[in-house]
A and B are shown apart, each in its own frame.
Chain A
């Protein structure tokens, strides 16, 4: 993407495009990655409530997999996850290539 020059930037750095934060992907900040284990998930959606970004996807009231473009690997979802019969539905794993 070609970066704008100083004559093209918006005065006062005001952002006029709603929802443009979607374009700023922050997944690369992550060093720990949450893994969702559907068989341990009770669909309580606490992970969706606690996620400080929008990395937990929900469709028609059902938990879906993470959106790793925005997950920074903070681990709050894994901490809050009650799981099923003592087994967590979210575990944090080392990020590796």
Chain B
């Protein structure tokens, strides 16, 4: 029996972590950390979980402690946000390079400067090529569900890679929604016992982690690393199938919303996809064939599948909640452009930067973008490839 509750995104993810009862959690306890880890620390103090919690002096240390605990042979979690993820950056590559399946919810918030702790994807986008799997979540239910599935994906014997679960800062992390919690025993059975690979604490089989690999071998190790990543999409789909059995909820590599017969479409991550779907419904009611694609598995990015899903459209706008200080297109735009490049016939593609530092993304923004796409289809002309929306002149 599912429990129906009204909780914040942070409460829901902390609940998922409680149900899984990991061996070790190393977390930095102060801002930019959110109350997710405060809640989890409460479960530890109340004896609800048997997790060893290590409160460290920085996120660089929290990821370092996670790496040690994971190599030792434990199921390990942490969580962070914004500058905290930025400070972990060096260690992120070590966690993935050593093939350690650490699970880390990331509450997506802006990077300094200027200082801002509101919803923004710049933090996770900065870590997108660090060798971690990334699952993105539209709402609290998806954040909870993705957290549970992340353990099965990262710990799969064909994969053994760390996983980041993204949820929008404040909009999801601190807002209350009605969601369904899965029964504790169902979650535990679904996730299963942790199986350690080459644990340092197995003193009968001594191993060394982190050797120096010189130019004669480094490239072989990097090439080998691409293999488990290539297997991720299949594992994500297999895990989603099993998850549907305990939850009744379906998950794919991405969500295609009214996309099959669409002529114009939006590509957008996380919470803003919910707002956009409402507007797409309004456009459909007006007889305009609009659709939406919301990536879920963002790393590794399923280029071929996304390209197949979008290739028949006439015009697509990719909306990014992260910018590169004007020096590039938004990160999602670049991935969508790459996924459509192999097709001779492909949609017009434009990029809008929205919602930086917690700026509201409103239904009228989605409507303006869809109107612009309809105009592009009509005239066959793109006025501006990249533009900022919801910003004052």
Neighbouring A residues of B228 by C-beta, 8 Å: 11
Q: Does B287 contact A (CB under 8 A)?
A: no
CB pair A16 B217 closer than 8 Å: no
Q: Does A61 contact B (CB under 8 A)?
A: no
CB pair B223 A13 closer than 8 Å: no
CB pair B216 A13 closer than 8 Å: no
Residue picked from A6, A13, A16, most chain B C-beta under 10 Å:
A13
| Binding-face segment, B92-100, B341-349, B365-373 | B92-100
CB pair B207 A14 closer than 8 Å: yes
CA distance A75 to B99 in the complex (A): 38
CB pair B207 A7 closer than 8 Å: no
Segment 27-49 of A: residues with Cβ below 8 Å from B: none
* Distance (whole angstroms) from the CB of A22 to the closest CB of chain B: 13
Nearest residue, chain B, Cβ from A19: B206
Neighbouring B residues of A15 by C-beta, 8 Å: 207-209, 211
Nearest residue, chain A, Cβ from B218: A13
CA distance A13 to B206 in the complex (A): 14
* Distance (whole angstroms) from the CB of A6 to the closest CB of chain B: 4
B interface: dominant SS: loop
Q: Does B198 contact A (CB under 8 A)?
A: yes
Q: Does B113 contact A (CB under 8 A)?
A: no
A interface: dominant SS: loop
Q: Does B210 contact A (CB under 8 A)?
A: yes
**Binary CB contact string for chain B from 338 to 379 against chain A (1 if under 8 A, 0 otherwise):** 000000000000000000000000000000000000000000
**Binary CB contact string for chain B from 225 to 269 against chain A (1 if under 8 A, 0 otherwise):** 000100000000000000000000000000000000000000000
Q: Does A97 contact B (CB under 8 A)?
A: no
Partner of B216, one of A3, A5, A14, A18: A3
CA distance A19 to B387 in the complex (A): 58
Q: With A14-B198, A16-B205 known to touch, is A5 a contact of B211 (CB < 8 Å)?
A: no
CA distance A32 to B98 in the complex (A): 36
CB pair A4 B220 closer than 8 Å: yes
Q: How large is the interface on B (under 10, 10 to 19, 20 to 34, 35 or more residues)?
A: 20 to 34
Neighbouring A residues of B207 by C-beta, 8 Å: 14-16
Partner of A12, one of B198, B217, B220: B198
Neighbouring A residues of B97 by C-beta, 8 Å: 12-13
Nearest residue, chain B, Cβ from A5: B220
CA distance A5 to B211 in the complex (A): 18
CA distance A14 to B219 in the complex (A): 16
Neighbouring B residues of A16 by C-beta, 8 Å: 198, 205, 207
CB pair B220 A11 closer than 8 Å: no
Partner of B98, one of A4, A9, A13: A13
**Binary CB contact string for chain B from 74 to 98 against chain A (1 if under 8 A, 0 otherwise):** 0000000000000000000000011
CB pair A13 B198 closer than 8 Å: no
CB pair A6 B224 closer than 8 Å: yes
CB pair A13 B160 closer than 8 Å: no
Q: Does B1 contact A (CB under 8 A)?
A: no
* Distance (whole angstroms) from the CB of A11 to the closest CB of chain B: 5
Nearest residue, chain B, Cβ from A7: B224
Q: Does B391 contact A (CB under 8 A)?
A: no
Segment 173-226 of B: residues with Cβ below 8 Å from A: 197-198, 205-211, 213, 216-217, 219-221, 223-224
Partner of B210, one of A6, A13, A18: A13
Can you list 9 A-B contacts with CB-CB less than 8 angstroms, sorted by A residue number?
A6-B219, A9-B224, A12-B98, A12-B100, A12-B160, A12-B209, A13-B211, A14-B98, A18-B206
| Residues in chain B within 8 A of chain A (CB atoms) | 97-100, 160, 197-198, 205-211, 213, 216-217, 219-221, 223-224, 228
Q: With A12-B99, A12-B160, A14-B208 given, can you name 15 additional A-B contacts, CB distance below 8 Å?
A: A4-B217, A6-B223, A9-B217, A11-B99, A11-B160, A13-B97, A13-B98, A13-B209, A13-B213, A13-B221, A14-B198, A14-B207, A15-B207, A15-B211, A16-B207
